[in-house]
Amino acid sequence: MAQLAERPAAATPYVGKTGDPCVMVIFGAAGDLTARLLLPALYNLARADLLPKEFAVLGVARAQMSDDDFRKRIREDVKQYCGECIDDSIWESFVRRFYYLPGNFNDDDLYPRVRDRLTQIDREHSTHENFFYYMATAPSYFGLIVEKLAAIGFMDQSNGHWRRVVIEKPFGHDLESAKILNQQLLKLADEKQIYRIDHYLGKETVQNIMAFRFANGIFEPIWNRRYIDHVQISVAETVGVEGRGSYFDHAGTLRDMVPNHIMQLISLTSMEPPISFDANAVRDEQAKILHAIQPLSNEEVLTRTVRGQYEEGIIGGQRVPAYRNEEDIPPDSRTETFVAMKLLIDNWRWADVPFYLRTGKRMPVRNTHIVIQFRRAPFVLFRDTSVEHLMPNQLVLHIQPEEGISLQFAAKVPGPVMRLGSVDMNFEYQQYFGKQPSTGYERLLHDCMIGDQTLFQRADMVEAGWSVVNPVLDLWKALPPRNFPNYPAGSWGPKEADELIERDGRCWRNFTE
């Protein structure tokens, strides 16, 4: 009998091309994003030997700090958020690459000082004048900072070096503002210099969607309307606004999650096979899907979308407050904390296959997953048996908290009578390949260093995502909700979200962990 391949005993170390010599400039280096995600990701890259030897970081923020103060803070942050002991054998060489410059982003005098400091750092670390600028700032500063950098000549690539800009979401707050931001950036930089980052694409399962589909001959032939009944995408969070009340109440869940995270998941799940894994080949196919999503009319917004806002409830045995009682939230806020939608993709592969999506805060569990539900097998063979109905097969891509893939299918229950039971085959990355220290940003930062834009959104993709969302934003603004709050914290959202999918004879797949 042929033997199955042995499971690796331990995690396989990161392998890949070392990044190009460069300086990473973090605007907003004293903020939460830098502390929780960027610094630990850089440390993990250093441990994996994927940072170039000619590498340095310049942090820029308003807080007054010296280089030494910044380095002490980095040690505290990495120790807190990496969850593992710091390796002293690499720490000293890692931390001495970090520098700090205090200043106000609105101050014209800051940017000549940035230029002088970068010139000095480049000389000390031989980084070949390659710089990438990470915007860990409020969105209002994105265009301003790039404009100031261009004014001092530090977006110019004419002498063989490269200059890149990394922008965190949100990319605008509606279609019009997204277009304005894109136009502003593209006046100052080429599209190849702009890296619009979405940390969801740093997750292994999201990256694995393409590998799963296109490297396995048993799945792609049935990945279409003939075999698939519908697709569900759920992004559930147990947290509330986490101290971001003033930002979140202006944005809401629809703006915060759907045009970026969820549109990326939809496009990777439904795209056609690209001609290669070249960045533009992949993004061309993603863009086609986003443009093929049927725009919603006003009537369809009313029947195919659901919004909700949580009231007080219990999560993990703890009572949590209603959204309107959270810090910095107006007591009469009409901002949605939950969204559910039914979308259709108008192309040959997916015609008449609904894509149901939902995302919300204060849900019972933190869980992100994609459910591919296949059509039921015909019942004819079983009609004279005790089998009353056939369960459809489901393929589930688990994205967080545990990353993996599971397949649900029917099997005969042992015994003299024909009875069927539902069986799950489960694959978990951590169990099979071992656990890698990761924040989700390691792959993305490394790609910035080597110039690979595959996992970054292009301008047309950003605008296509907003094109889907804009009609919903407009109608919801014109018709404010009358029933908020309409779901208790710790539930799976308002009852209208269940009705949305149940009207079509389907139901949500909920996970308890």
Catalytic residues: 261
One DSSP character per residue, 203-270 reads SHHHHHHHHHHHS-TTTGGG-STTTEEEEEEEEE-----TT-HHHHHHHHHHHHHIIIIIHHHHHHHH
23 Cβ neighbours under 8 A, 6+ residues apart:
55, 56, 57, 58, 118, 121, 122, 125, 127, 130, 131, 132
Cβ count near 303 (within 10 Å)? 12
Amino acid at 400: Q
CA distance 157 to 180: 24
Retrieve residue 419's tokens: 């009875």
**First CA to last CA distance, the chain:** 37
Q: What is the CA radius of gyration of the chain?
A: 24
Cβ count near 85 (within 10 Å)? 7
**What is the dihedral angle through the alpha carbons of 342, 344, 350, 353, rounded to the nearest 10 degrees?**
40
CA distance 231 to 270: 10
Q: Please state, in angstroms and as integers, the Cα–Cα distance from residue 29 to each residue in 34, 133, 470, following that order.
A: 6, 11, 33
Retrieve residue 204's tokens: 């292994």
Backbone φ and ψ of 464, nearest 5°: -65, -40
CB 393 within 8 A of CB 378: no
Retrieve residue 417's tokens: 């009578």
CB 309 within 8 A of CB 336: yes
Backbone φ and ψ of 164, nearest 5°: -130, 150
Q: Please state, in angstroms and as integers, the Cα–Cα distance from residue 429 to each residue in 234, 402, 433, following that order.
A: 20, 8, 6
Coil, strand or helix: which one is 107?
Answer: coil
Using alpha carbons, select from 49, 51, 92 the residue that is nearest to residue 74. Answer: 92
